[in-house]
Amino acid sequence: MSAYQRIARITIAATLFLIGVGGIVRGSGAGLGCPDWPKCFGMWFPPTSVGQIPPEWWAAHPNASPAEFNVVHTMTEYVNRLIGVSVGLLILFTFFRSLKYRRIRPAVTYCSALAAIFVAFEGWLGGVVVESQLKPLIVTAHMLFAILILLLLLYAAYIEAPEKSAVVLPSPARERLIWLVGTLFAVSFVQMLIGTQVRESIEEVAAILPNLSRDKLLEQVGFLDHFHRSSSWVVLALSAGVFLLCREGRAKTDLGNQSNLNLALVVAQVLAGVGLAYAGLPPALQVAHLVLGASIIASQFWFLLRLTRVGATSRIEGASFAA
């Protein structure tokens, strides 16, 4: 494994971890734990008590109330920011490592550079999220750019050494799998977008009806939530189709393993969704749902990259897909 592959894999894992931390912040209600940006209550290190907040900060924020200060929320959001900065530095380092490929595989450098630019944009967007008082649409945009950064890093890691990841299959089997996995990826991505809209609707309902219990929030979303639930069965059916097609080909290498992983992730995601719907939207399941969704998109994207690469040397032993 090359040095770039190592740092890219670490950065990809760190990005997924950051998405999970963002889910914790959102699920715990700590998004405004630090109500200003880039400082926290006007300080570079967050206060642990109301008395530590500078008087000038209160003067600049006349609508803020000392009673709203929550040290747990403040520290949660601050740690989220620290992790975000750390991941940003990792992505920047990944870009520097990619520079040696700018002539032989320029796509590696371009994707790494674009990921670094998007990280800078994400930092700015994080400030907008705070200034907007967690406006749902902006929070969703913040999350989607994190997914885009993840996909750029995956693509760069793949292009750096495609011969180590791609597979060679008989043409009919390869074309069938490309179509099926491509459809699965597209439907999963749309499903994720619908999920973000459901989340936005939940927050809008909660803002309008603050006394409504959490287990009643989804009932107010209506058609969008029902469509999101129904669409999950389409993702599950397509994943089962990929799994069965790989079993039909007796794929005993990591391509078969990847279809197994995808199906396991999708089943876990469906179960997490069921838990959210019938257990009153518990924060832990919200985080799991978010991380599983990002992992599914990443896994399917990697799967598709491997299938669409022509001329690779890795083979599936005993592949005998039906023509």
Domain boundary among 132, 160, 188: 160
Nearest-angstrom CA–CA distance, 219 and 233? 20
DSSP 219: H
Tell me, what's the pLDDT at 321? 38
Cβ-contact 18, 142 below 8 angstroms? no
Domain stops at, among 116, 141, 160: 160
Among the listed ranges 103-112, 122-131, 281-290, which one has the minimum average pLDDT value?
122-131
CB proximity list for 49: less than 8 A, separation 6 or greater:
69, 71
**What phi, psi does 321 have (nearest 5°)?**
-65, 145
Tell me the C-alpha distance between 206 and 77, whole Å.
Answer: 21
Q: What is the pLDDT of residue 312?
A: 38
Nearest to 228 by CA among 199, 264, 185: 199
Domain identity same for 138 and 271: no
Q: Are residues 225 and 264 in the same domain?
A: yes
Beta strand residue intervals within the chain, DSSP E: none
In the structure, what pLDDT confidence band is assigned to residue 235 with cuts at 50, 70 and 90? very high
8-state DSSP, 50: G
* Crossing angle between the packed helical segments 214-221 and 223-248, to the nearest 10 degrees: 90
User: Is the domain of 126 the same as that of 182?
Assistant: no
* Model confidence pLDDT, tens digit, residues 30-62: 888 888 888 899 999 999 999 999 999 999 888
DSSP character for 99? Answer: G
Strand partners, 40: 43
Per the structure, the count of domains in the chain is 2
CB 314 within 8 A of CB 166: yes
Neighbour count for residue 8 (Cβ, 10 Å): 26
User: What residue numbers bound the domain in which 212 lies?
Assistant: 166-323
- My answer on whether 220 and 202 are in the same domain is yes
CATH number at residue 251: 1.20.120
96-107 burial: b if 16+ Cβ within 10 Å, else e: ebbeebeeebee
Backbone angles phi, psi at 45, to 5 degrees: -110, 130
- Among 160, 184, 219, give the residue marking a domain's end: 160
C-beta neighbour count of 26 within 10 angstroms: 21
Candidate ranges 91-100, 173-182, 249-258; pick with highest mean pLDDT: 91-100
Q: Are 94 and 11 in contact (CB under 8 A)?
A: yes
The overall average pLDDT reported for the chain is: 84
Confidence of residue 217 (pLDDT cuts 50, 70, 90): confident
Residue 43: beta bridge partners? 40
The verdict on 21 and 48 lying in the same domain is yes
Same domain, 116 and 6: yes
Give tens-digit pLDDT for 70-116.
999 999 999 999 999 999 999 999 999 999 998 988 999 999 999 99
Nearest CA to 38 out of 69, 71, 82, 70 is that of: 82
Q: What is the pTM of this model?
A: 0.84
Q: Which of 302, 298, 300, 293 is nearest to 22 (CA)?
A: 293
250 and 129 both lie in a single domain: no
Q: 189 and 319, same structural domain?
A: yes
> Which alpha helices (H) appear in 43-105, and where do they start and end?
55-60, 71-98
- Residues 53, 119, single domain; the answer is yes
For residues 261 and 131, membership in a common domain is answered with no
Question: CA–CA separation, 299 vs 305, rounded Å?
Answer: 10
231/261 Cα distance (integer angstroms): 20
Q: 240 and 312, same structural domain?
A: yes
Residues 183 and 311 in one domain: yes
Taking the CA of residue 95 as centre, how many other CA atoms within 13 Å lie in the half-sphere pointing to its CB? 19
Q: What is the pLDDT of residues 309-322, one digit of tens each?
A: 644 333 333 343 33
What pLDDT shows up at residue 162? 64
Number of H helices, E strands in the chain: 10, 0
pLDDT of residue 323: 32
| Dihedral angle sign, alpha carbons of residues 133, 135, 140, 145 | negative
For residue 161, pLDDT over 90 is answered with: no
